[in-house]
Amino acid sequence: MKTIDVCLSPELMHLYKVRDRTVVVVDILRATSCMVTAFAHGIETITPVADLNTCRMMRHKGFIISGERDGKKVEGFDKGNSPYEYMGPDIRHKRIAFTTTNGTQAIEKSKEAHKVIIGSFLNLSTVVKYLLFGENNVLIVCAGWKGKVNLEDTLFAGAVIDRLRNHIEPDCDAPLIAQQLYNDAKDDMVTYLKNSSHVKRLDKLDIHKDIEYCLTIDQYDVLPKLKQGVLTLI
């Protein structure tokens, strides 16, 4: 039977061998939710970029530049980190260069993997099917918050593990922890997350609407995949 494990923070990536695995990168609030939304609305490619300057320079090459640091849009950038910015006709057939506090760093650290896909609650069932049909063992990489573990990414990992429980075996304690938390939370994730530090942090930025949206399951069936450093649809 295939196995599934969860890396609860990018700072633990060195403990996992990923060369033969399929890695799912997740940053529910809000990088990977934005990415999935953008692909569902016709973006052609997204290039994850680790630092602000590299991202800024890509505007000259025709990219829309998206940047977020500490939950806020970076000054001078075209777009920030709210999924509602990625629904308009202005992104259709365009390319985005995207840099965020946690999500794009997690993608960077996952590059060695056999396959890297982008997960969010918005495309949960599509992620689950892809993992089920593939041959590889799986690692879910939670973006966390500046290296620390966060609740919402852990819940997403738990949702995937719970749906695959009869098909893919948990590899260690982290998947069991994630699955348990998801089962505690699944009936009302918005309320469950209300006390989490990340949601409190974002609350100050007045983005309740974003949070509810990012916790909506199966809004889209797109699956972004990393190929030579660039995300495209499978």
The binding site for a copy of itself (CB under 8 A) comprises 8-9, 11-12, 14-15, 145-151, 154, 170-174, 176-177, 180-181, 184, 195-198
Beta bridge partners of 141: 7, 25
d(CA 77, CA 90): 15
Closest CA to 223 of 210, 234, 214: 234
Q: Which is nearer to a copy of itself, 103 or 224 (CB)?
A: 103
Report, in Å, the least distance between residue 209 CB and a copy of itself: 22
d(CA 12, CA 147): 9
d(CA 122, CA 119): 8
For 21, residues 6+ apart whose C-beta sits below 8 A from its C-beta are 113, 114, 115, 136, 137, 138, 139
Q: Which is nearer to a copy of itself, 119 or 170 (CB)?
A: 170
In sign, the C-alpha dihedral spanning 131, 120, 166, 12 is: positive
DSSP state for residue 111 in the 8-state scheme: T
